[in-house]
Structure 1
Amino acid sequence: MATRLVQINMKALDDSLLGRFWADALGWGVDSEGPGVTNLEPVGFAYPDPAAVCIDLVARPEPKTVKNRVHVDLATTSTAHQTELVARLRDLGARPADVGQGEVPWTVMADPEGNEFCVLEPRSRYRDTGPIAAVVVDCTDPREMARFWGEAMDWTLHEVTDDHASMRSAEGVGPYLEFVRTPDTKKVWNRVHLDVCPYPGGDPAAEEARLCALGATDPGVDRSAIHWTVLADPENNEFCLLSPR
């Protein structure tokens, strides 16, 4: 049994407006499941496919109060492309952000609702990922996060150190999932989280039990109105276990 990362879930004060920003930023299409839910995926994409990790924006009234523990890094192909992309994102409504990064070759920005993201300088490892180079999770122990997520999903581990770990779909396509050591710890529920799903024919209850045996916990979310399972990883980051697809 195994799961795969299929999308990131992002809470938004206005899912439609924020969805339009990210669709324009990534060159993706926009769909809606109804009021308060906006889906983003590449044009012509057949969900789920490891070639992309989609974005699901869900309206919530609570404002953002702390730095997100999950963010995306955007890929560029040259220094000129990085400069052009930063300028285009600013025109779309993004702004520079200071998260204590100091002098770095990448550019830290925030979307119109303050969600942090990075525009990376050109790096050869991200040349074939698509517009999203990596989904990045802040953590205190990258090795333990790599252990859990490496067993939770069938993705391939590419690097594991005390400060950084990364993995990618076993098919070698799409973005990386990366864990970066940071000094801060989780304080509030995450406005951005991971969504995983089993493969077709998978048993959701059995997969939930397997994930809990690996170290996932039940964060106590009321499930009465939802048809998916909410769990938390070893550092208490919420994630959703969706129905098999």
Structure 2
Amino acid sequence: MDEGKAASVKLFYIQSIVDGVSKVKSFLEDNYVGIPWSALGDLEQVSLEEVAELLKHRYGLVDDKLSEILEAASLFADGINDGDYVVIKDEDWMYVGDIGDYYYDDSVGTSDDLICHRRGVTWLGQVPLEEINEHMQSLLNEPKVVAPFELPVTKARLDQVFGWKNEPTKPEPSEHAARTALFDIQSGQVDQATIEEALAVLKEALRSKDEQVRVTAATSILQYAKL
């Protein structure tokens, strides 16, 4: 994924512990994330006022707790867009996915141990918790059921998953570039500045992932040393 798309999407953390039970295994195996309070019904079919009343009477929530859960339900149903990103965690890993549309699945019931409010997820990868940066550490320590990442997604530094880079990267040196640099040096028709530039190309090629490029660069540098 390129940085252009990264600038247009948002990242959210979804709690995976429901009533003291981890839902990570289910989320990963069945490709979804969800929030509790299944008895609220389909959140796309009820108003916030109706949800508030249900939270009061069905779950006994009042005041700050009521506001917190109402906010989480609203954000999960309406504040996340198809194509945004989601992270969940267990004791060792953070899992990253591309999140889909909201849907309500009450096919097996609406008891409190079930997750009926769902969004499909395409899981993209996982990152050891010990390797995530301070911004993501802060997000994963959020007590909220649904928490948005308040910074641009690239600040999450999920390079392992997406390949994003904060700085432009140089193109991979090619065998042609290495041979061209040697020709420039051997031709004797270039000034010292050009020679130094050509040597820089060869030195860069020594770090190439392509073995043939590395061999060509090394050979070229050794030949130059004999001039």
- Bigger proportion of residues as strand: 1
Scaled by the length of structure 1, the TM-score of the pair is 0.23
Greater radius of gyration (CA): 2
Scaled by the length of structure 2, the TM-score of the pair is 0.24
